[in-house]
Structure 1
Amino acid sequence: MPARPEPTGPRPVFGRVPDDPAALAHVPDVPLDGLLRRAAAAVPDRTALHTPEGQVTYAALDAAVDGGAAVLARAAGGRGAVVGVVSSLTASFAIAYYGAVRAGLVVAIINPFLREDALAHALTSASVSVLVAPPEVAARVERIRDRLPGPVAVLPPGEVTRPGPAPGGPAPDPGAVVCLQFTSGTTGDPKTVRLTHRNLVVNAAQIAAVHRLDSTSVTLNHLPLFHPMHLNSAVWAGATQVPVPDPDPAAAIEAANRHRASHFYSLPVRLAHLAADPRLPGLRLRTVGTVFSGGSALLPAPARKLADHFGIPVVQGYGLAETSPLTHCQRPSRPVPGSVGAVVPGTECRVVDIDTRAPLPAGRPGEVQVRGPQVMHGYLGSADPAVDADGWFSTGDVGYEDAAGNLFLTDRLKDVFKYENWVVSPTEIEQVLIGHPAVRDCAVVDHPDPYRGAVAHAFVVLAADTEGAARPAPADIAAHVARRLPYYQHLKYIDAVDDIPRSPNGKILRRVLRDRIGGSAQPPSPAPSLGGPQ
């Protein structure tokens, strides 16, 4: 893939979308790979991707996708087959992703960190017949072949980067399913989400609007995998993407400065570690205008610390696999601490009572529902409708809106539990726990109790300087929580652990922690009773 040199002089601005619902009326109704065709025609010499392997322009990327489409069409054997693409932070992911679409195939996004059981589940549930995978994932496939319902041809990423003409065929219906993505699986086996061309194209424009992306933007992705959200929105805008596979935050900041990045994308867990990094005082972001966080909740304290240090907004967004994914985002010009912001253009949100399903006024917590053109076509293998009769999708998240429409999330519906008749939010307890100087990371789950229904059980990772003799007693940490929360949110059990199990995007795997409670050979460490009705 030879990269042409960038022309000198001012570039034409392409891809800019106003943050206005009316702007979506002008989004073209094109297939997903049409985003790349459009950018290659408008800004052919603009660098599309700058990876450790080199850089490639939009024109060169579009030509490479033609060749990748031909390879995948031959391997899959027919239009409509499912091609799995491992979402590594490489140019080959973008080529295989758009190449599968251009070949008239359905693309399934495969997490590179899946172990054998989860990988078998993903390949089986999506009926993957061809998988584009690096050697380490290909080796896992070989170990599970006898558990797969049919043959899976595994192609190395280099196989899909060969030049060649794109296969012919009719243009797809923009309303047809083109992409399969998987839910996080934090409470059970992941579900397979069916997304259409239109879902993904519209959401790319929505993201470009609220993130202020256009062809002058340079986006640095300090993420463990290549998420289609970042790929599609940058391609919509004709922006340059700089994936940084190195998990070290200092390396990511150096790369942002070297490439003159305008946008810095990361995960809450990485940003929290950056805020606590002793090297932070010596780090500066010279060209980045906004740091964007998503995937799970970013606590206000590290967000505030990083915003104050770098002198730029650190904002949070919200979405789900079922919504392509983005539905909400704080606006960089007016961030609202603790919230995930207001809806993206063309999207509606409401909060309903968990039991009665009646809409609730501002300030009242309940289940969050959304409605918009990015909501999925449904779950694979499920006859249940994706939305209710009025088009509302129930997210399973609990939160409330303020009077201005900013959404504040408090928990997953499956994570909250009842102590007697009180609803307990694990997230609220975690936000207090992380404020203790000895706690570096934490998670709270429900611990079954025969008298109260369930009580709070905390797992904490202690800061390094509290090891050995300086390690605090569980009573000290429990007392810190008890002084700040009502009795029904007090900790009844505390376990010190080496790490908190999380998904690749930083979400706490509470089911793993609940399994530890149920299968532990030793009883957990009880925290003392600290007031309130017993």
Structure 2
Amino acid sequence: MRDFPHGDLPVDGLLRRAARRHPEGVAVRTTTRTLRFAELDAYTDRIAGWLGGTAGAGPGTRVGVAHVLAPEFAAAYHGVIRAGATVVLINPLTAQEGLRHVLAAGRVEIALVPSATAPLITAIRHELPSLRAVVVTDTPDGAVPDGTVPLHAALDQARPWQAGPPPDPGAVACVQFTTGTTGAPKGVLLTHRNLVANARQTALAHGLSADSVTLNHLPLYHVMHLNSALYAGACQVLCQDPDPMVSLTAAADAGATHYYGLPARLHALAADERLARGIPRGLRLSAVLSGGAALRPQAARTLRQRLRVPVIQGYGMAELSPLTHCQRPDRYRPGTVGTVVADTECRLVDLTTGRPVQPWSTGEVQIRGPQLMAGYLDEGQPDRIDADGWFATGDVGYADDEGNLRLVDRLTDVFTYDNEIVSPSRVEQILADDPRVADCVVADWPDPEHGALVWAGIVLHPGAGAHPHTPAAAPRHVGILDVLDAVTERANERLSPFERIRVTEAIDAVPRTRTGKTERRAVRQRLKTRAAP
């Protein structure tokens, strides 16, 4: 594999380089603040000076930083790395038990968190022997919880930053915990080389340049968006209002070229009646980009029609810094996550033999590239990287002749019916095409004869019984069971015999994570318990 540019650049060097090239360019903007690249770089120096001086942080020190959607995260993230310490990313939306796990497993010594998160940490501080300081990054009323320090007061004690020797590109710069949908979150070790490589890969795949303006309509700040924008010298606008139409107005006002959103929010935007009435004047987006979970096809189609721009999906995971695949506006293939990003290889291997398969054949997705993690924080985690550097993602899919990847399922989610592999996601896609279905989840119902039966939990649209697809012979206002039977029958006509739905149930909502991923493990556990008698 060929080398890539800036392979020896440290992560905070992305900011330093942007500040040198575009000192007066806007780096980060909110409704109340604007930081130019030179100002963000100076702010980062102050944080690095405090950490490396008064706080005594340096190589080997783990500093937790909550990735709130605010300029403070951008400065704190790069400030920790510039001080020679390691960032441990903290999700500020996590409940107390999740915070305990991340802080303890990450051996965090200093935590930089918002005022809403600080009390949750101070309440369990006695259980965290490594933690010696909690710093509050926002102080809206000037007060902070007992036992914490406001960031502005800490920075008043900062010494001028004195740069030391550059870090080894292979040194760990960041610990990012996985989402934990299949067990306790795992700490992923990401090096300077991993993160800088993926910043370049993402900027190229998304078409970012110094003329780009990105609108981040996200609940949290993601390092992929931060670092790729810094690599390109692009402006980032942080929209903290969850209202989808407010975000479009903000994009129009800012002259945004790229709109980043999570599937859950994009689903809400597609369903918003205000969008059907028209888009904000002056909106000039070149693309809407989605990641973190699958965007429903109907939502993608609606957004593409209303906004008249490509709706792009990508693929990746924490272990891969995270991006590996991305659709391209000029090579758009609906239903896929696109082709690999620069300097990245992808192969699919047979689920039984482990041998590479041909295009259009289903297999486990394996990735090799410079963005691949150094390993896990817990050395006891199973090794998912083989001797040739291939990382086993645990995802199942297939690729076309051009390399566009279509994901089918998680390896842990597929199950067998009479020795035939059933993909829950494929069955869900068929169900979702029925206009009467608002949402759905498919899992395996344990069965001693066949191994498992296909179970479907379906959220019906209000008034689904009066839909044209309901059988003509049915009464005008049919019951829920009649509608479920009709929906199931329509889906089964398009499914192979082993994929057909055998158990159907009406549910109020599909359990999902904050990013929109189906919590299938919890669903399967409930089904297992119910089927046991």
Determine if the TM-score, normalized by the shorter chain, exceeds 0.5. Answer: yes
Q: Distance in 2 between matches of 1:27 and 1:478?
A: 54
**CA 1:100–1:465 in 2, change beyond 3 Å: closer, same or farther?**
farther
User: What is the letter of the counterpart of residue 394 of structure 1?
Assistant: A
User: What is the letter of the counterpart of residue 27 of structure 1?
Assistant: H
- Would the aligned equivalents of 1:253 and 1:283 in 2 still touch at CA under 8 Å? no
**CA 1:118–1:495 in 2, change beyond 3 Å: closer, same or farther?**
farther
Question: Which of the numbers 334, 337, 342 marks the counterpart of 1:337?
Answer: 334
- Would the aligned equivalents of 1:266 and 1:293 in 2 still touch at CA under 8 Å? yes
Q: Distance in 2 between matches of 1:152 and 1:437?
A: 55
Secondary structure of the residue aligned to 2:11 is coil
Question: Which of the numbers 481, 494, 502 marks the counterpart of 1:484?
Answer: 494
Q: Tell me if 1:124 matches 2:104.
A: yes
Question: Which of the numbers 359, 364, 370 marks the counterpart of 1:362?
Answer: 359
Paired position in structure 2 for 1:462: 460
Q: Distance in 2 between matches of 1:103 and 1:470?
A: 66
User: What is the letter of the counterpart of residue 141 of structure 1?
Assistant: I
**CA 1:272–1:379 in 2, change beyond 3 Å: closer, same or farther?**
same
Moved more, 482-491 or 254-263: 482-491
Moved more, 339-348 or 499-508: 499-508
Paired position in structure 2 for 1:35: 14
- Unpaired segments of 5 or more residues in structure 1? 1-20, 525-534
Q: Deviation string for 1:501-533 (max 9, x for gaps)?
A: 22232211112222333456xx89xxxxxxxxx
- Would the aligned equivalents of 1:96 and 1:160 in 2 still touch at CA under 8 Å? no
Paired position in structure 2 for 1:65: 44
- Would the aligned equivalents of 2:336 and 2:407 in 1 still touch at CA under 8 Å? yes
Question: Which of the numbers 449, 452, 468 marks the counterpart of 1:451?
Answer: 449
Q: Distance in 2 between matches of 1:187 and 1:228?
A: 23
Paired position in structure 2 for 1:507: 517
Paired position in structure 2 for 1:47: 26
Q: Deviation string for 1:389-442 (max 9, x for gaps)?
A: 111111110011111111111011111111121111110111122222232222
Q: Deviation string for 1:487-510 (max 9, x for gaps)?
A: 322233334333322223221111
| Shift in Å, 1:386 | 4.9
User: What is the letter of the counterpart of residue 510 of structure 1?
Assistant: R
Secondary structure of the residue aligned to 1:399 is strand
**CA 1:45–1:467 in 2, change beyond 3 Å: closer, same or farther?**
farther
Paired position in structure 2 for 1:84: 64
Question: Which of the numbers 346, 371, 376 marks the counterpart of 1:374?
Answer: 371
| Shift in Å, 1:329 | 0.5
| Shift in Å, 1:464 | 4.1
- Would the aligned equivalents of 2:4 and 2:197 in 1 still touch at CA under 8 Å? no
TM-score, reference length from structure 2 = 0.89
**CA 1:386–1:492 in 2, change beyond 3 Å: closer, same or farther?**
closer
Q: Tell me if 1:350 matches 2:347.
A: yes
Paired position in structure 1 for 2:5: 26
Corresponding pairs, count:
501
- Unpaired segments of 5 or more residues in structure 2? 139-149, 467-476
Q: Tell me if 1:423 matches 2:459.
A: no
**CA 1:386–1:35 in 2, change beyond 3 Å: closer, same or farther?**
farther
Paired position in structure 2 for 1:320: 317
Q: Distance in 1 between matches of 2:353 and 2:88?
A: 37
Paired position in structure 1 for 2:143: none
- Would the aligned equivalents of 2:186 and 2:378 in 1 still touch at CA under 8 Å? no
| Shift in Å, 1:466 | 5.0
Q: Distance in 2 between matches of 1:295 and 1:109?
A: 17
Secondary structure of the residue aligned to 2:268 is helix
Secondary structure of the residue aligned to 1:25 is coil
Moved more, 43-52 or 78-87: 78-87
| Shift in Å, 1:79 | 2.7
Q: Distance in 2 between matches of 1:69 and 1:463?
A: 53
Question: Which of the numbers 174, 177, 181 marks the counterpart of 1:182?
Answer: 177
Q: Distance in 2 between matches of 1:61 and 1:467?
A: 56
Paired position in structure 2 for 1:3: none
For the aligned residue pairs, the C-alpha RMSD in angstroms reads 2.2
Q: Distance in 1 between matches of 2:375 and 2:353?
A: 24
1:246-261 superposed matches below 5 A: 246-261=241-256
User: What is the letter of the counterpart of residue 105 of structure 1?
Assistant: A
- Would the aligned equivalents of 2:362 and 2:397 in 1 still touch at CA under 8 Å? yes
Question: Which of the numbers 293, 296, 309 marks the counterpart of 2:290?
Answer: 293
| Shift in Å, 1:297 | 1.3
Paired position in structure 1 for 2:167: 172
Larger RCO (CA under 8 A, 6+ residues apart):
1
- Would the aligned equivalents of 2:431 and 2:440 in 1 still touch at CA under 8 Å? yes
**CA 1:404–1:62 in 2, change beyond 3 Å: closer, same or farther?**
same
Secondary structure of the residue aligned to 2:398 is strand
Q: Distance in 2 between matches of 1:115 and 1:461?
A: 27
TM-score, reference length from structure 1 = 0.89
Q: Distance in 2 between matches of 1:470 and 1:188?
A: 41
Q: Distance in 2 between matches of 1:412 and 1:303?
A: 22
Give me the identity figure in percent: 47
User: What is the letter of the counterpart of residue 410 of structure 2?
Assistant: R
Paired position in structure 2 for 1:472: 480
Q: Distance in 2 between matches of 1:79 and 1:174?
A: 14
Paired position in structure 2 for 1:403: 401
Q: Deviation string for 1:105-138 (max 9, x for gaps)?
A: 1101111221122221111211111111112211
Q: Distance in 2 between matches of 1:456 and 1:83?
A: 46
Q: Deviation string for 1:453-484 (max 9, x for gaps)?
A: 12222233333445997763232332232222
Paired position in structure 2 for 1:224: 219
Q: Distance in 2 between matches of 1:515 and 1:320?
A: 24
Q: Deviation string for 1:9-37 (max 9, x for gaps)?
A: xxxxxxxxxxxx97x63335211000000
- Would the aligned equivalents of 2:428 and 2:441 in 1 still touch at CA under 8 Å? yes
1:99-138 superposed matches below 5 A: 99-138=79-118
User: What is the letter of the counterpart of residue 292 of structure 2?
Assistant: G
Q: Distance in 1 between matches of 2:395 and 2:232?
A: 30
**CA 1:152–1:460 in 2, change beyond 3 Å: closer, same or farther?**
farther
User: What is the letter of the counterpart of residue 527 of structure 2?
Assistant: I
Q: Distance in 2 between matches of 1:58 and 1:84?
A: 24
- Would the aligned equivalents of 2:115 and 2:137 in 1 still touch at CA under 8 Å? no
